[in-house]
Structure 1
Amino acid sequence: MKKLINPWKDMEGYNCFGCSPDNAAGVQMEFYEDGQEIVSLWTPRSEYQGWLNTLHGGVQSVLLDEICGWVVFRKLQTGGVTSKMETRFRKSVSTNEPYLLLRASVREQKRNIVFVRLV
């Protein structure tokens, strides 16, 4: 796996909730490229609880949204915004886990719409 360098990290005013390393309130995700996939290892923190020791669903959605954005940025060499997001949470995520592993890749592209597969 090759670590991806965040091209915006030194930009003045850059404070992305998802991937800015300097946003103390943010989730500070880092990304790696593994073949056709973008990968993130993320450590949950208790500040992101929705219920006792349970990661808030909104924070889970942020993680999904952010890695999908990086898939589009890296694999299609363009930026984009989320227009629709359908998610089924299969089980709760503990904030006591040492890390979460997210893997995402382009599933399909129809003109300017990109479908991303995430596991």
Structure 2
Amino acid sequence: MPGWLRKRDALNEKRVKIKNPFAWEQNGCFGCGPSNAAGLRLTFEESDTHLHAAWNPIPEYQGYINVIHGGIIATLLDETGAWCINVKVGTAAVTSVMTVRYLKPAYISKGVVTIDAELKSRDQKSAKLYCRLFDGDGKLCSEADIEYFLYPEEIARKRYFYPGREAFYYE
């Protein structure tokens, strides 16, 4: 078994489905808003070390024929990273630096892509994450190093309606 597949399989540890506490009708978030008809409507799961998402690409999100648009890939990586901050760090954040490496095309015809985000480091004001996108065959297509500016939880609650870490879990 190739090393990349062993690494990916290692991420298939026990997962917990994450609740979207932002799922009200007015939430038009392109990444996670369930009522945004043009959006990605991502849902998430958590494992011990990562946050995970799966997304089924459609032709409306292609660049070249049958290839997921690079901007959509960047959005998938960034959104999964931001949700990792919400769940693992316990606050809201905004992207300050993002470096994406496109390693190979992610083909729409290969079906559901998976994205994972891992918190690598954090201090009081920022967090650094490593995010990856795998195609439907489980091959690594893109990766990103992303740094987020962290808001203090009190400001995140007031300004961004951050509901607190506990709101992301089902009872």
Q: Quickly name the TM-score band, shorter chain normalised.
A: over 0.9
Higher helix share: 2
Q: How is 1:1-119 mapped onto 2 (pairs within 5 angstroms)? A: 1-10=15-24, 12-119=25-132
Unaligned runs of 5+ in 1: none
Letter in 2 for 1:47: E
Q: Deviations over 1:15-74 (max 9, x none)?
A: 100001111101111100111210001111110010100100000010011001001000
What's the Cα RMSD here? 1.0
Distance 1:5 1:110 in 2: 26
Distance in 1 separating the partners of 2:50 and 2:78: 15
Deviations 1:64-108 (A, max 9, x none): 110010010000100000011001100111111221111111001
Give the distance between the partners of 1:111 and 1:35, measured in 2 at CA.
22
- Within 2, Cα distance between the matches of 1:5 and 1:65? 18
Alignment length (residue pairs): 118
Which one has a bigger Cα radius of gyration? 2
> After TM superposition, what 4+ stretches of structure 1 lie above 6 angstroms from structure 2?
none
For 1:90 and 1:112, locate their aligned partners in 2 and report how far apart those are by CA, in whole Å: 30
Match of 2:99, SS state, is coil
More off after superposition, 104-113 vs 40-49: 104-113
Q: Give the % identical residues.
A: 33
Q: Secondary structure at the match of 1:83?
A: strand
TM-score (norm. length: structure 1)? 0.95
Task: Calculate the TM-score normalised by the size of structure 2.
Answer: 0.67
Q: Which has the higher contact order (CA 8 A, sep 6+)?
A: 1
